[in-house]
Structure 1
């Protein structure tokens, strides 16, 4: 029986550790029949190359800093060394300086760090989509990862603002890329134990909320449900869905108390 991504080629941008959502997405995508490429940059690139060997099929690892104009301009050529097209792109990228922007530091966060967080976490969705657009001539799917930005959370502070920017960016991209057959959606996951989460002071407070309020329960060590949702949106099963945010949070978002 073939998988839902059989015959598709997917780029998962932002894979570092095997405890990341990006890694889980790459694994599920391969299991569902996709050819996968992954990316990272800088000092983390060596880690990514080692981690890539833990996937069912070792994928090509591309160097991509989404804030570097030269990297973005050269991305299509990098991809073409391995394939002539992309059917889907996963944006698994976010950063906010935990020492200045998170853990109750909202009122003190300096603009320079806020600007970096917004560029890396929100603007880069547009940057990545446009860098990949020449490879998506027949249309395709762009999927990003968010953490519900409709409310203010403990500890999340300026990353919440950056995620709100990401969510708005995805809607405008859906508007402008839709005529070319490119769908743009986000998956809003509950709190998961990742390298990024460990850097957020007080993140455990969010995890405690989920344990008591998510009607389906919530396992913060299980990245597979989130990865499956991403892969479903990459597939042909949602041909008329764009500008959407799919919650994978055990139902937490729908509860009032």
Structure 2
């Protein structure tokens, strides 16, 4: 019996086999979960193709987390796809304009682009959680994905600010939803060669940092360790852990130099 046996899990942001979300969906199924995945817009066609490699092939729904009507309709959409309850939500959603909000132009980014990044990458953790809440079971785990927003990173700019806001949002969700049996945590991953990373100008500068400083080593092509961290938090093995950020980065976060 797997550690997610009998659980219903919503995994957002599945786009490619290299994505953390894809590996989460795959491992969650292997651990006994029933999975449904979501994406939005042009990425939806990628999702529909990549999930065909999963067994069983999970339902795919379209969800724009910035659309209030889509969020309001989400419980009915999930019910229509066989989800009467939800035991876990994986937030793997982020966006920042690579031309203005990433790549070193931090001081000149217009507010409109900052606002978009915060709404899509940070506020959506709260809006998605609350949209799913009508279907929550008695023991729910919400897990978001970050790239350690406690510190500044070269080229990451306003996405770094958005990730810091995401991490703080998770802590406040933990505060307000904990009494209802909802755990909210963050996994801070090391850099992975995903579509999202490749969209960040200059993101290859992270590679040398992890090559030099990860005491456990780090494989840019392997999202499985990060996905296992997410799945562990979705399980019942962390029953009293909430408001936490767990690093899956080969140990870089703890090294001074």
TM-score by length of 1: 0.98
Q: How big is each residue's C-alpha offset from its partner over 1:2-28, in whole Å with a ceiling of 9 and x where there is no partner?
A: 110011110001111221111010001
Q: Which residue of 2 aligns with 1:24?
A: 23
Map of 2:73 onto structure 1? 74
Tell me, what secondary structure is at the counterpart of 1:166?
Answer: helix
Q: How many angstroms apart in 2 are the aligned matches of 1:119 and 1:212?
A: 34
Q: Counterpart of 2:83?
A: 83
CA distance in 2, matches of 1:83, 1:207: 40
Q: Give ranges in structure 1 of 5+ residues lacking alignment.
A: none
Structure 2 residues without counterparts, runs of 5 or longer? none
Residue 204 of structure 1: aligned partner: 204
Who is 2:40 aligned against? 41
Displacement, 1:139? Answer: 2.8
Task: Give the CA deviation at 1:54.
Answer: 1.2
Superposed displacement of residue 137, structure 1? 3.5
Residues in 1 aligned to 2:148 and 2:101: alpha-carbon distance in whole angstroms? 18
Alignment deviations for residues 204-225 of structure 1 (CA, whole Å, 9 cap, x no partner)? 1111100110000000110000
SS in structure 1 of the partner of residue 138 of structure 2 = coil
Match of 1:157 in 2: 157
- Quote the Cα distance in structure 2 between the aligned partners of 1:30 and 1:208: 34
Structure 1 runs of 4+ with >4 Å offset: none
* Residues 65-109 of structure 1, C-alpha deviations (whole Å, 9 max, x = no match): 000001100111111111210100000000001011111110111
The corresponding residue for 2:183 is 183
Any idea what SS the aligned residue of 1:129 has?
helix
Q: For each residue in 1:122-167, what CA deviation from the matched residue of structure 2 results, as whole angstroms up to 9, or x when unmatched?
A: 0000001001111114130000000011111011001000001001
Q: Can you list the C-alpha shifts for 1:155-186, whole angstroms capped at 9, x where unaligned?
A: 10010000010010000000000000000000
Deviations 1:180-237 (A, max 9, x none): 0000000000001100000111111111100110000000110000000000000000
CA root-mean-square deviation: 0.7
**Number of aligned residues:** 256
Query: Match of 1:246, SS?
Result: strand
CA distance in 1, matches of 2:99, 2:170: 28
Residue 5 in 1 paired to residue 21 in 2?
A: no
TM-score (norm 2): 0.98
Shift of 1:47: 1.6
